[in-house]
Structure 1
Amino acid sequence: MDIELVAEGFEFPEGPIAMADGSIILTEIKGRRLTRVSPDGAKTTLVETGGGPNGAAIGPDGAVYITNNGGSFEWLDNAGLTIPGPTPASHVGGSIQRFDLATGKLTTLYEACDGRRLIGPNDLVFDRQGGMWFTDHGCGTPEGRKFGGLYYAKADGSHISRQRDHLIAPNGVGLSPDEKTVYAADTQLARLWAFDIAEPGVLGPPPGFAPGRVIRNLDGFQYLDSLAVEAGGKVCVATIINGGITAFDPDGSIEHFAVPDLVCTNIVFGGADMRDAWITASSTGKLYKTRWPRPGLRLNFNA
């Protein structure tokens, strides 16, 4: 796969959005900001978010919605690579933020669900109804791990519900083309989950003792991060250690596309034919572009 370096010098980039004007908006988790990258690689800071802005997506009102983990990582330098480390003692939880591109106003929509603080919101995707599915990655503590979950919330701040609880490390999230399935990648299990949707914003009952259907676990020592879905239904998940993108077919078969970074964190599709793909290579602070072999699924909203 031929890749082109678009820009570098980011502080752990994530959450890329392919905008209608050809620019990319992305988060910088370590940098605590939202950044726009023009096609020629020029960078502009849109807003300082604080915390740890992780995933980002355009909502039904044209605003940018951000899953902010609240600063759930310390940052380690390993031979010049930026690596997420333990959760600092100062971490109290994360939030869902809304950034208005027209006015420059940043607001917080959600910090809790049913009286329980969000731990580390990670990634999000909007359905056709304009609601968002998002993952809470949880976080580590000296005593063990705080589990995460899968949530659904309305973009106007009026409703949030926890649809699956006690997931180990849910990260990337996406919808199948028919929006009957929500996918979530578990980082530490290297597992892609599929959850059946009963109605908009509501999951069906879990299958037996499992929280969802297992599409596949990756072999050996690998991690999974954020994801995007192809128009044909394959789920493309950024892969850590085995750096690159792993495309999962719903039948469980996979193919891997290598990228020169151990910590690839996300992919987004765009362009006229939806075959342009941008990949965040986070430990080296780079944004790459490539031509994907198949078109990506067009998201429900853009700006």
Structure 2
Amino acid sequence: MEFELVAEGLQFPEGPIAMADGSVILTEIQGRRLTRIRPDGSRETVVETGGGPNGAAIGPDGAIWITNNGGSFVWIERDGLTIPGPTPPEHAGGMIQRYDLTTGELRTVYDSCDGKRLIGPNDLVFDRQGGFWFTDHGCSTPDGRKFGALYYARTDGSHISRQRDHIISPNGVGLSPDETVVYVADTQLGRLWAFDVAEPGVLAPPPGFAPGRIVANLPGYQLLDSLAVEASGKVCVATIINGGITAFDPDGSTEHFAFPDLICTNICFGGPDMQTAWITASSTGKLFRARWPRPGLRLNFNG
């Protein structure tokens, strides 16, 4: 696949949003900010978020909603690459933030569910009703891992619910075109999960002992990060170690598109025909633009 470098020198970019003016707003997890990248590669800081802004999306209110992991990584510099390491001992948890592009107000909307602190919110997607699904990636501890979960919340602050608990490392999240399925990429397992939706914001009971249906497990040692869905229903998941984007068909078959970074973390679609793809190459701090072979799914809300 042919691609071009749009920007470099970013501090672990993630969470790209394709804006109507041709720019991309993305998170810099290590930099603790949202940054706008214009088509010519120039950039400006949108807002300093603190913590660790990970995923970002435009909500029904036109604001940017941010899954902030609260600073859940120690950053390791190795062989010219930036690599997320263990969770620092001072990490207290993460939050869901809302940034108003008009007023400049940044506020925390959720930091807990049922009295339990969110650990490391990671990615989010809005449904047609204007609510959002989000993943909590969990975090590492000296004694093992705090498992993650899949949540649903409303933007007015009135509702947050834990829809599936005890998932090892949920990362990217997306909806099928008909919104009957929530897809979740599990980083450590290299697995794409499918969770059936019973009604908006509510998952159907799991099948048997498994938390959801398995779309596919990648072979060997490959890790999965954030994702975007194509209009056809294929799920494009950023892939670590085997750096690039892996497109999962709901039937379980896969197709890999290589990009020159060990840690590709996300992809988003935009442009008039939704075939412009932006890929965050995080360990090298770069943003790439490519012509995708198929159109991406247009999100319910756009900037």
User: What TM-score range do you get, normalising by the shorter chain?
Assistant: over 0.9
- What amino acid sits opposite 1:292 in the alignment? W
- What amino acid sits opposite 1:43 in the alignment? R
Q: What is the 5 A alignment of 1:151-190?
A: 151-190=151-190
Tell me which residue corresponds to 1:210. 210
Give SS of 1:129's match.
coil
CA distance in 1, matches of 2:207, 2:44: 46
- What amino acid sits opposite 1:45 in the alignment? T
Tell me which residue corresponds to 1:113. 113
Q: What is the 5 A alignment of 1:1-303?
A: 1-303=1-303
- What amino acid sits opposite 1:124 in the alignment? L
Q: CA deviation at 1:157?
A: 1.1
- What amino acid sits opposite 1:19 in the alignment? M
Could you report, residue by residue, the CA deviation over 1:90-137 in whole angstroms, capped at 9, with x for unpaired residues?
A: 100000000000011100000000000000000000000000000000
Q: CA deviation at 1:4?
A: 0.4
- What amino acid sits opposite 1:56 in the alignment? A
Give SS of 1:194's match.
strand
Could you report, residue by residue, the CA deviation over 1:239-271 in whole angstroms, capped at 9, with x for unpaired residues?
A: 000000000000000000000000000000000
- What amino acid sits opposite 1:153 in the alignment? A
CA distance in 2, matches of 1:245, 1:156: 34
Q: CA deviation at 1:236?
A: 0.1
Give SS of 1:196's match.
strand
CA distance in 2, matches of 1:165, 1:118: 12
Could you report, residue by residue, the CA deviation over 1:62-87 in whole angstroms, capped at 9, with x for unpaired residues?
A: 00000000000000011010000000
CA distance in 2, matches of 1:88, 1:263: 21
CA distance in 2, matches of 1:148, 1:47: 27
Could you report, residue by residue, the CA deviation over 1:133-183 in whole angstroms, capped at 9, with x for unpaired residues?
A: 000000000000000000000011111000000000000000000000000
CA distance in 1, matches of 2:23, 2:257: 24
CA-based RMSD: 0.3
Q: CA deviation at 1:43?
A: 0.6
- What amino acid sits opposite 2:64 in the alignment? V
- What amino acid sits opposite 1:165 in the alignment? D
Query: Would you identify which runs of 4 or more consecutive aligned residues in structure 1 move more than 4 Å?
Result: none
Q: CA deviation at 1:17?
A: 0.2
- What amino acid sits opposite 2:110 in the alignment? Y
CA distance in 2, matches of 1:167, 1:93: 17
Give the TM-score normalised by structure 1: 1.00
CA distance in 1, matches of 2:42, 2:162: 39
Give SS of 2:96's match.
strand
CA distance in 2, matches of 1:35, 1:102: 16
Give SS of 1:88's match.
coil
Could you report, residue by residue, the CA deviation over 1:177-208 in whole angstroms, capped at 9, with x for unpaired residues?
A: 00000000000000000000000000000000
CA distance in 1, matches of 2:40, 2:68: 28
- What amino acid sits opposite 1:231 in the alignment? A
CA distance in 2, matches of 1:107, 1:24: 22
Unaligned runs of 5+ in 1: none
Q: How many residues align?
A: 303
- What amino acid sits opposite 1:206 in the alignment? P
CA distance in 2, matches of 1:188, 1:215: 15
- What amino acid sits opposite 2:96 in the alignment? I
Q: CA deviation at 1:27?
A: 0.1
